[in-house]
A = this chain, B = another copy of it.
Amino acid sequence: MEIEFQDLSYEVYKRLKNMILVNELLPGEQLKQEHIAARLGISRMPLHKAFQMLENEMLVENLPRRGFFVTRIDNNQLIDAFECREALEGVAVRRVSQIIGKQELAYLKSLFKPFIGKTNIDDRKYIEADQEFHNSILKFSRNEILKKFEVIRNITYRTYRGGLIRAPKETLPEHLAIIDAIEQKDAVLAERLIREHSGKSQKCIIEKLGTSPNGVEPVLHHDKK
């Protein structure tokens, strides 16, 4: 189970990131440097760099002299993240409407084609399409700064692992309407639509949080006693 690549830290980073995102490493779990280093057949230095990267994406937290822990997703942070996402996707889609190319537009459309008209939709596949849609909007905006906000993608990704937030029947038309606005190069409309779209999901999240469904609970981080 060894890793040998050009940029060790980066490979380690990607690997750990994935392990966290798919819950192979659980929230709250401590990441002991020597253990992981040994398991990956590397020293602690490149590992430390990887941890640093993960920390900046809020996937791990560092307690000085204690170590690194997989971050628990705090409900408040979740809401915070969704609010930011709403605004930033607005920024992105505004730009996308102005600069999108034919291929990119076709790609966006292709994401949802398999679901149009269908009655029973595979949730897992729809979630994938949904995430790819939102990621593509960010990517196609060519806004370099937006790429720095991996934090938000991570949090929403981890959230969506709990299952669909709203039914495809409800969100599919919204997605299509956004794509339509982009195609019409109506930046203002596209921004309004995507913000409404995000806003609705936000509300559903907040409602769901009342019951704290999939192990998400408002816990302070790693404080004993």
Binding site for B on A (CB under 8 A): 6-7, 45, 48-49, 52-53, 56, 58, 64, 74, 76-77, 80-81, 83-84, 86-88, 90-91, 95, 98-99, 143-146, 148-149, 151-152, 155, 213-214
Q: Tell me whether chain A's interface is mostly helix, strand or loop, or mixed.
A: helix
| Known contacts A49-B48, A52-B52, A152-B145: A86-B80 contact under CB 8 Å | no
Which chain B residues lie closer than 8 Å to A83 at the CB level?
91, 95, 143, 145
Number of copies: 2
B146 touches A80 (CB 8 A): yes
Known: A87-B88, A90-B87. A58 touches B214 (CB 8 A): no
A144 to B74, CA, bound (A): 10
Interface CB pairs A-B, < 8 A, 25 = A6-B64, A48-B49, A49-B52, A53-B56, A58-B145, A58-B148, A74-B144, A76-B144, A80-B143, A83-B91, A83-B143, A83-B145, A84-B88, A84-B145, A84-B146, A86-B91, A87-B87, A87-B90, A88-B88, A99-B214, A145-B151, A145-B152, A145-B155, A148-B151, A149-B149
